[in-house]
A and B are shown apart, each in its own frame.
Chain A
Amino acid sequence: MIRHLLSAADLSLEDATLVLDTAEEMSRLTEGRSVKKLPALRGRTVVNLFFEDSTRTRTSFEIAAKRLSADVINFSAKGSSLSKGESLKDTALTLEAMGADGVVVRHAASGAPYRLASSGWISANVLNAGDGTHEHPTQALLDAFTLRKRLGELAGRHIVIVGDVLHSRVARSNVLLLATLGARVTLVAPPTLLPTGVDQWPCAVSYTLDDVLPSADAVMMLRVQRERMNDAFFPSAREYSRRYGLDLRRFSLLPAEALVLHPGPMNRGMEITADVADDERSVIVEQVSNGVHVRMAVLYLMLAGAASDGARDERRSERDQVNGAVSDGARGERDQAAGASDAATNEGAE
């Protein structure tokens, strides 16, 4: 498994399938049992580093890490030194000094997670939770998980992504992941809301929503990001809604089993009408609960095992040699303590 999850393109077909299968098992393991916790990340510290507002993603990562028994620390821009103008580097060094094992980062600047992962400032595994207009890989994984659960294998399926592709990290990650999984993707947007170079992406592009709906297995509606809409990408909200919004008429053009997805938060009446959003073929609420299971899978695969751990300790000791610190020893003691408590549990059971 990969060390950092920065882009959906980091995942091979094998890795992506492993994540989705593991997520499946995570959902079975936490449903309907008395103790909704698994011990896999006991003693690990996961830091949620959110330079940008987010309710759903941060909460989802927090629940996921806690269900795996990790210690979770939330840093958000408001109410921390991040709002006092501390640099990414200084924040990273602080987290490193506190012994973070995994850092979940959201940042308004595209590439911030990559910088964290490649700079050598921290030895933790970095998970991208959305960077600027670049990528949001765990959202793509949870979308793929939701689709796979409802549709079965995704190879050969036709997924249509509609809306503000230009500003959407969700669209980019989805295109990359769905292509890896063998699905056919069509992006639908007004020309002004498509990024340059989109012809290089592994997908088709259309400007007319009605043309592609009849062959779609699922439609993913993207949020119209009003906060990024200063440059008049379309004449009016009403015109956008008429040409690219999913209303009941367009909904009826879809095949009978086709699904509707939305990464949230929705602008009801803008890109999607309320009656479509609340239809039983809309899986928007399901996406949220699947998000927890997919993030549990990613955290488990990246943080629980030895490969990541070994790399972490190696790099940490390299740095410690430079700094003359002794955090390795402290870590070893902690692991021993964990082993001792295992033995204690066992005696109790006997």
Chain B
Amino acid sequence: MSRDLHSSRAVLDDDDVARALTRIAHEVVERNKGATDLVLLGIHKRGVPLARRLAERIAAVEGVDVPVGALDVTMYRDDLRMRPARALEPTDIPPGGVDDKIVVLVDDVLFSGRTIRAALTALDDIGRPRAVRLVALVDRGHRQLPIRADHVGKNIPTSMAESVKVLLSEVDGHDAVLIGRRGEASEVVS
């Protein structure tokens, strides 16, 4: 942990993350004119706890329990063949499915856009949503595909030499967004 402090700096702390998520929850509901037909799908790994938190906030605002699921896009990635085969994370589609629903994809960092492309392809095999929207806690730029987020927690301009790492209490013990040099923070999210 102490090495993290030396090599990377926090750009968002736990309060910032909480405020950003509360705002995004309101935006999602506002844009959708209510919580009807919403399905939140978190993209592994840290998109999943983020989606759950958004659902809690929407429940608090609207009094509606929005279905939450998880999506693993490993087999749909375009770099599947460039790295050794990876273990799969559980994909969990809510019982109501996604057909004719408004699916909100939730990810921690939006970077090249390739993960989202993989998620959209994965969604093809699951059903046909009426619309797909994208929530990202952090947008760090450097898109390689024509993809943009509908709701962003914070835009953080970065250089390609930097890495952005989102820490969440469910996975990492506490909430923060860190910027470091690339290769130092492990699990750089692309």
Contacts and interface: CB of A to CB of B under 8 A. Distances in A.
Given A21-B87, A29-B91, A349-B124, A304 B81 contact: yes
Nearest to A339: B78
B88 A304 contact: no
A288 interface: no
B101 to A, nearest CB: 14
Which of B75, B82, B123 has its CB near the most chain A CB atoms (within 10 A)?
B75
Contact of A345 (B84, B124, B127): B124
B87 A18 contact: yes
Contacts of A349: 117, 120-121, 123-124, 132
Contacts of B72: 25
Contacts of B81: 304-306, 309, 335
A346 interface: yes
A18 B88 CA distance: 9
Contacts of A1: 84-85
A345 B121 contact: yes
Contacts of A302: 85
A139 to B, nearest CB: 22
Which of A18, A21, A29, A38 has its CB near the most chain B CB atoms (within 10 A)?
A29
A304 B80 contact: yes
B126 A34 contact: yes
Interface string A150-163: 00000000000000
Contact of B145 (A37, A303, A346): A346
Contacts of A29: 88, 91
B85 A300 contact: yes
Contacts of B93: 33
B91 A342 contact: no
A254 B121 CA distance: 49
Contact of B87 (A22, A37, A306): A22
Interface in B102-128: 117, 120-121, 123-127
A312 to B, nearest CB: 11
A112 to B, nearest CB: 26
Nearest to A37: B125
B3 interface: no
A22 B88 contact: yes
Given A304-B81, A342-B117, A349-B121, A39 B91 contact: no
Contacts of A304: 75, 80-81, 85
Interface in A227-261: none
Contacts of A28: 90-92
B6 interface: no
B96 to A, nearest CB: 12
A42 to B, nearest CB: 9
Contacts of B92: 28
Interface in B54-101: 72, 75-76, 78, 80-93
A348 B13 CA distance: 38
B84 A305 contact: yes
Contacts of A303: 85
A34 B99 CA distance: 10
A301 interface: yes
Contact of B121 (A18, A309, A346): A346
B146 interface: yes
Contacts of A322: none
A21 B74 CA distance: 15
Nearest to B92: A28
B156 interface: no
Contact of A25 (B80, B85, B91): B91
B86 to A, nearest CB: 7
A202 B132 CA distance: 54
A342 B82 CA distance: 15
B10 interface: no
A35 interface: yes
Contact of A306 (B84, B124, B126): B84
B80 A34 contact: no
B132 to A, nearest CB: 8
B11 interface: no
Which 3 pairs from chain A and chain B are nearest by CB?
A305-B85, A349-B120, A35-B125
17 contacts: A1-B85, A18-B87, A21-B87, A22-B88, A28-B91, A33-B126, A34-B126, A35-B124, A301-B85, A303-B85, A305-B80, A305-B86, A307-B85, A342-B121, A346-B121, A346-B145, A346-B147
